[in-house]
Amino acid sequence: MFNKIGRLDNEDTKNLKELVNKLFALLAEGKTVKVEKEIYKVANTPNYFIREHLGTYLAKNVDADKMEPLMKKMLDHKFYGIRATAVFYYFHLCQDEPEEILNILDSCYKSTPWEAESIVNEMWRKYPDLMKERMTQWIKSEDENKRALSFHGMENISNSDPNFIMEFISNAIDDDKIEVQKKITHILTQVARSNPIIVFPYIREWLVEADDTRVKTIWVSMKKLANIIVQRNRNEQSQEFVLLTQQTIEDWKNDENEKVSYMGEKLFRIIRR
């Protein structure tokens, strides 16, 4: 009925809405088993967009609450697509209860990682204050996947609260897990492009007392930033970002701290090549 890959077209969304209406009609008739089979048949798909739309339409129906017992069961299903559909259902059902959304993610972020990232990103957009509070707890988790997820979407507040991001990273800069390091370098790159005057002093401070792991994390981030300003589309970059990055590298090259000056020299070779 639907494509196995790719976004849904108008005909697909129309058919999916009609299916959801049919499912609720069957549910009203007490045909719960048939409803379950129909949902499983559509939800068990590799197509992310089918799962997203199905979960959304189920949650936005006027009788959405009546589907909740089945959705709760689906969260623990053995098939990924069925679990993922339930996650999207709860995300849209609980829009007025953002804390409940995070509670649900807390229990299923490992079993539906793609959906968890998508929802966490949206949560940073819609509920930044709540996310600041809860992600400060997640970054302390013993689970590296949860710590990495706490960074996802944080760039959404890079303009409104860059200092929060930098303090947040300060508490995780020495995390030696590769997924966490990847998230840190991504966020650092994003925040530095919009707020270089705030970011670079933090990075220098981290570098002064850095061990090998921290140096590597900082190098990956700074190398990306240095490469950005020498790309062909340089004129499209923020003039403030370009000038401050160049000046920072010049200053670091002549810094009295050996680690800072060594980093500065390597970065200088990139921007002057």
- What is the pLDDT at residue 240? 86
- What is the pLDDT at residue 235? 54
- pTM greater than 0.75 (yes/no): yes
Does residue 66 carry a pLDDT above 70?
yes
The structure tokens listed for 246 are: 């160049």
Does residue 23 carry a pLDDT above 80?
yes
Mean of the per-residue pLDDT values for the chain? 94
Percent above pLDDT 70 for the chain:
96
The structure tokens listed for 141 are: 């988790």
199-247 pLDDT per residue, tens:
999 999 999 999 998 999 999 999 999 998 888 555 556 788 999 999 9
Does residue 249 carry a pLDDT above 70?
yes
pLDDT level of residue 4 (50, 70, 90 thresholds): low
Does residue 114 carry a pLDDT above 60?
yes
Q: Domains of the chain: which residue ranges?
A: 1-93, 162-273
- What is the pLDDT at residue 250? 96
pLDDT level of residue 272 (50, 70, 90 thresholds): confident
**Region 138-165 average pLDDT:** 96
Coil, strand or helix: which one is 272? coil
- What is the pLDDT at residue 210? 94
**Region 114-127 average pLDDT:** 97
- What is the pLDDT at residue 229? 87
**Region 41-59 average pLDDT:** 96
Does residue 40 carry a pLDDT above 60?
yes
Can you say how many angstroms the Cα of residue 71 is from the centroid of all Cα atoms in its chain?
Answer: 24
* Contacts of 50 by beta carbon, 8 Å cutoff, 6+ apart: 2, 3, 8, 12, 16, 42, 43, 81
The amino acid at 191: V
What's the CA gap between 234 and 241, in Å, rounded?
Answer: 11
